[in-house]
Structure 1
């Protein structure tokens, strides 16, 4: 488990010394079925499964007969008409939806994903495994204190604080920051940490996928960080191996939102659901001298030049006949005090993108399915704003991070059901949201040369 003295900021940050290239695994034949999703399976409910007929003529001897099997329990949520959870609204009006329309399930049992990651660690050798404390002791990049003049002016009067990446990461044009989370999400105390995700923006195939930046902002005047590569374990003819985090059909995982729960990092998987990566199973490849290579070949292992890699252990996908949704971002929040993960849909053209809250079992660091195998959403709504890049709910209030609602700058919306949303200025290229232990909302800018990582006190 991650040490309790530690708080983590990971940014999937791209850096100028890592050119956009990737390699195959020395000719190894990869069996991808460990992670390629099945088609969403239809779930059939026998409506009569629990019915027991009563025979008014039953004798006393009949009463001694064992009762028939009552069958499976009824679903927690009844089936809904998916057309009813895909409605419309007007600008500024958040409209609640039937939360029973949405459900997520683990694509494979968690134990299978952990076993595959452990097989990878075994092949790499016990000496290659690393923990969070080790990585925090080896942060190799120095961020810059303070905010750009443009951001300081834009957020004047809002109590803004933050930092900037070193200049190479600030300006690189093939890695783009997206998601943000931190040690408060993970329940850690001690150091104040952030994690920021970046995706590899390139037309080349394959890509380098996605990565995290682990940032220590315990002293915000001296932010220090390091990049970690997200990887997906696979089973090959030669044994367990690993690949970059890409979509099933190719292309870098966008990683538009992340949240850190216990040892696990939840990453938005746009069309499928959520991927889960495990910081307790981090490893160090043997070589960091070749940015073009990834995977194990003989006694050598590479992760595109990165010193540390974080493997996937699970993925959540749409459950059975529940309604489809997109997963553009994810954050940790709550619904009336109940812990939740908040996901949502980016929509550039309409105000009808949806936001959904999913029940979270913090002790297990998994979605809470109440033993049914399906985690049904706690709340859902049509956002009522375009270009939402991140969302968070606490109590009955939704916060919506929009990237370009005011010319080229963003807006942060405060929305409640049945009311017109209010807003405050937000940065240009604003992305995902994170609420820290001091009740400050964080986001990261994505555009080269304008990548402030910034926070303000949560607006009411």
Structure 2
């Protein structure tokens, strides 16, 4: 049989050099955490009525976006991660990152964006959107473009993991994209939503102030098994920690959950002498419409959407046990385990009904 295997592609140093040249035009690169001082949007504490009803048997909590972001049809949220993924000992501030993809039918593919959310003060949640971008050109003539699939179209960004200094983003058929959160680029102009890249003295990112550069990719290794990357999560109960990816299957239960080794020293996936990253293990999920998955101390959690009447379900199980099911909101997506509160979070995607919500984790 074949193996599940990935290979890192792209010249990391070259991409970082282009990103540095871009950032130098506006005062040098920023760390993602520096952007915390420039959060320009106000969230709303709590969750909407539909999610509250669905989670009424749980000690739920969460936040809503501002009215424009809740209702927009132009962007759909997908992935979620946070500071408890990024840092082994967590972070003094309660931080989440949420990915969105460009859903607008306006002829401009803007790719994907992330939202940095600060929930430290539960009564005063704040956030900012940053555009994910791909560096182009050379350090002497640097440029950048939006985050697209190889065949065109905005990357779905169905799952994200913040594993400092990197942001891993699911690339559905290819593997993973990796972004450098220590090289955030502050652009010069935010007055034109259609513009991206460098044009003379201008630097635009579709009207977003900050752009986060891709510096590497993981792609399926030649000769390996085909597997899809619909989402990605992190398991810090393993030592060293592991990435968890999985496959969305709409109409069957054969989607797989695959786990990949990480190298804590570098933050990259752990490769063998041939440069291949081999999966640690894989299992058939036995659930359809899987939008997110986590493993923790041998337990598996699956976020599944619209199996019946559009409502979500959160399954929890371990090998040899029958799954237990929890009501989960409509439009549920990726999963994130906030270790310091032992809460499982998701984000819901539909316009008018968008929540970032967490409930206490329960064992199977």
Normalising by structure 1, report the TM-score. 0.75
Q: Does 1:198 align with 2:100?
A: yes
1:59-458 superposed matches below 5 A: 81-82=1-2, 101-122=3-24, 125=25, 127-187=27-87, 188-235=90-137, 239-334=141-236, 336-437=238-339, 438-458=341-361
| Alpha-carbon separation, structure 2, partners of 1:397 and 1:134 | 35
Partner-residue secondary structure (3-state), 2:262? strand
Partner in structure 2 of residue 97 of structure 1:
none
Residues 171 and 448 in structure 1, CA contact (< 8 A), matched pair in contact too: yes
Partner in structure 2 of residue 4 of structure 1:
none
Residues 17 and 139 in structure 2, CA contact (< 8 A), matched pair in contact too: no
Deviations along 1:430-458, whole A, 9 cap, x unmatched?
A: 00000012211000000001111100111
- Structure with the bigger RCO (C-alpha within 8 Å, sep 6+) is 1
1:51-62 superposed matches below 5 A: none
Partner-residue secondary structure (3-state), 1:280? coil
| Alpha-carbon separation, structure 1, partners of 2:264 and 2:68 | 37
| Cα gap change, 1:160 to 1:318, in 2 (>3 Å) | same
Q: How far did 1:340 drift?
A: 0.4
Residues 78 and 333 in structure 2, CA contact (< 8 A), matched pair in contact too: yes
Partner-residue secondary structure (3-state), 1:275? strand
Deviates more, 1:181-190 or 1:198-207: 198-207
Q: How far did 1:111 drift?
A: 2.6
Deviations along 1:48-83, whole A, 9 cap, x unmatched?
A: xxxxxxxxxxxxxxxxxxxxxxxxxxxxxxxxx14x
Q: How far did 1:362 drift?
A: 2.3
Deviations along 1:174-215, whole A, 9 cap, x unmatched?
A: 100000000011104211100000000134444010001000
Deviations along 1:276-304, whole A, 9 cap, x unmatched?
A: 01111011111111111111011111111
Residues 131 and 211 in structure 2, CA contact (< 8 A), matched pair in contact too: yes
Deviations along 1:225-245, whole A, 9 cap, x unmatched?
A: 010011100117982200011
Partner-residue secondary structure (3-state), 1:259? strand
Partner-residue secondary structure (3-state), 1:118? helix
| Alpha-carbon separation, structure 1, partners of 2:274 and 2:318 | 31
The root-mean-square deviation of aligned C-alpha atoms, in Å, is 1.7
> Between Structure 1 and Structure 2, which shows a larger proportion of strand residues?
2
Gaps of 5+ in 1: 1-80, 83-100
| Alpha-carbon separation, structure 1, partners of 2:320 and 2:198 | 55
Q: How far did 1:422 drift?
A: 1.3
| Alpha-carbon separation, structure 1, partners of 2:45 and 2:72 | 19
Q: How far did 1:371 drift?
A: 4.0
Partner-residue secondary structure (3-state), 1:330? strand
Q: How far did 1:114 drift?
A: 2.3
Deviations along 1:119-138, whole A, 9 cap, x unmatched?
A: 4334xx26153233431111
Residues 45 and 124 in structure 2, CA contact (< 8 A), matched pair in contact too: yes
| Cα gap change, 1:317 to 1:428, in 2 (>3 Å) | same
Q: How far did 1:334 drift?
A: 4.8
Deviations along 1:329-362, whole A, 9 cap, x unmatched?
A: 0011157544101111101110001110000112
Consecutive aligned runs of 4 or more in structure 1 exceeding 4 Å deviation = 334-337
Deviates more, 1:170-179 or 1:104-113: 104-113
Gaps of 5+ in 2: none
Residues 258 and 268 in structure 1, CA contact (< 8 A), matched pair in contact too: yes
Larger radius of gyration: 1
Residues 340 and 357 in structure 1, CA contact (< 8 A), matched pair in contact too: yes
